[in-house]
Amino acid sequence: MFLSFCAQKKLAFDKTKKVYELETACGTCMFKMKGSTCKLAVKINNKDYYVEGTSIDDHGDAHSKDGFCNSIRKAKVQGEIVGDKFLVSYFELIK
């Protein structure tokens, strides 16, 4: 699954970059961020950021019992904060 996910989204692990283990969920449903649609977000140092580079629908049914709109999950990510967004270059859900 890991290889097919990275190939599909063109997100690749970069051993030269720091890996963060972050909480991730629907920003609107779970983190109560402003917005009118369900969108993937991460929490960094108690601040919430919408994610760019992968979407909520890339990781299964967001409205299922354990989907992003109903639960907060953990993910290993690489990327950077730019303005009020987190630009992700690698994203792997922790089972």
Model pLDDT, residue 4? 39
Q: What is the pLDDT of residues 33-89, one digit of tens each?
A: 999 999 999 999 999 999 999 999 999 999 999 999 999 999 999 999 999 999 999
pTM: predicted TM-score of the whole model, two decimal places: 0.85
**Which alpha helices (H) appear in the chain, and where do they start and end?**
2-9
Model pLDDT, residue 1? 40
**CATH assignment of the domain containing 23:** 2.40.50
CA dist 75 and 14 (Å) reads 15
**Structural domain count of the chain:** 1
Q: What is the pLDDT of residues 6-38, one digit of tens each?
A: 334 568 999 999 999 999 999 999 999 999 999
Look up the domain containing 46 and give its range: 2-93
CA dist 53 and 63 (Å) reads 21
Model pLDDT, residue 9? 53
C-alpha dihedral, 10 to 18 to 34 to 25, nearest 10°: 70
